[in-house]
C-alpha cells in the first residue's frame, strides 16, 4: 500500500448492478454532456473518505471497521433517480439517488466512527448516499435541472440490489478503473 495514495471506505456495488446502471445511463451521455463519466467498475457508495493515510492509522481503521461490522447483515437498497451536486446551471457531480434506508445510515455511522477512532479527521457534511456517475458539466447551455425527472431511467424501471460488502478502496488516478479493493468486509 502506498502511504501517499488516497483511501476511502464504501459499499461495494454488485457487478450485475453496475452493468444494469451503466446500461440505463449510456443513452444519457449524449443528452447530459459531462466532462468525465465514471467507469462502471468504479460505481460505489462512499461511507468515509480518508484521503492520504499513514499505514499505521490505515491498519487501525481496518481492525476497527472489521469489529464494528462483524454483526451487520446484508440489506436491500433501491435506486430511484438522478440528482446533482454543485451549481444548478453547472453541476460538478451527476449522481444516482437511492431510496433512504436506515441500515445504510447505520453501517455508515459504524464505519465513520471506527475511522475517527483510528485517528482520521473526517468531513462532517451530512451523509447523502449516492453513486457518482459523471463529473463537471461541459454543456454549451446551462444545465436544466427539470431534465433530471424527465430523463430519469429509473422511474418506470426501478430496481433493487443487495448491499452485502463494505470495502476499503485505494485510488489510482493514472488507471481506469481507478479504484482498487484493499480490504473487504462481508455483511
Q: The domain spanning residue 21 has which CATH number?
A: 3.90.1140.10
Q: Quick check: 113 and 138 in contact, CB under 8 A?
A: no
Query: Which among 12, 37, 71 has a CA at the least distance from the CA of 176?
Result: 37
Instruction: Determine, yes or no, domain membership for 46.
Output: yes
Whether 130 is catalytic: yes
Domain count for the chain, please give it: 1
Q: Quick check: 156 and 144 in contact, CB under 8 A?
A: no
**Containing structural domain, residue 94:** 6-186
- pLDDT at 138 (0 to 100): 96
Half-sphere exposure in the Cβ direction for 51 (13 Å, CA): 6
Q: Which position among 39, 128, 130, 172 bears the catalytic label?
A: 130
Query: Which among 93, 163, 165, 105 has a CA at the least distance from the CA of 129?
Result: 105
Instruction: Determine, yes or no, domain membership for 71.
Output: yes
DSSP state, residue 5 = S
Instruction: Determine, yes or no, domain membership for 1.
Output: no
Q: Indicate whether this model's pTM tops 0.85.
A: yes
Which parts of the chain have pLDDT scores under 50?
3
- pLDDT at 157 (0 to 100): 72
- pLDDT at 155 (0 to 100): 85
- pLDDT at 183 (0 to 100): 98
Q: Which position among 6, 39, 44, 172 bears the catalytic label?
A: 44
Alpha-carbon distance values, 156 to 19, 104, 146, 174 (Å): 18, 24, 17, 37
- pLDDT at 73 (0 to 100): 98
Amino acid at each position: 500500500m502506498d502511504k501517499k495514495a488516497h483511501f476511502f471506505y464504501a459499499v461495494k456495488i454488485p457487478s450485475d448492478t453496475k452493468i444494469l446502471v451503466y446500461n440505463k445511463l449510456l443513452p444519457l451521455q449524449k443528452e447530459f454532456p459531462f466532462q468525465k463519466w465514471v467507469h462502471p467498475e468504479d460505481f460505489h457508495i462512499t461511507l468515509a473518505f480518508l484521503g492520504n493515510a499513514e499505514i499505521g492509522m490505515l491498519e487501525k481503521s481496518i481492525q476497527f471497521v472489521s469489529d464494528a461490522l462483524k454483526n451487520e447483515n446484508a440489506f436491500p437498497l433501491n435506486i430511484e433517480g438522478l440528482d446533482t451536486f454543485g451549481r444548478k446551471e453547472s453541476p460538478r457531480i451527476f449522481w444516482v439517488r437511492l431510496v433512504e434506508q436506515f441500515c445504510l445510515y447505520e453501517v455508515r455511522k459504524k464505519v465513520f466512527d471506527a475511522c475517527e477512532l483510528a485517528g482520521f479527521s473526517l468531513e462532517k457534511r451530512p451523509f447523502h448516499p449516492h453513486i457518482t456517475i459523471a463529473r463537471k458539466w461541459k454543456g454549451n447551455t446551462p444545465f436544466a435541472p427539470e431534465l433530471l425527472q424527465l430523463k430519469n431511467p429509473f422511474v418506470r424501471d426501478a430496481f433493487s440490489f443487495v448491499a452485502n460488502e463494505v470495502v476499503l478502496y485505494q485510488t489510482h488516478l493514472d488507471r481506469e478503473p481507478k479504484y482498487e479493493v484493499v480490504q473487504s468486509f462481508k455483511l
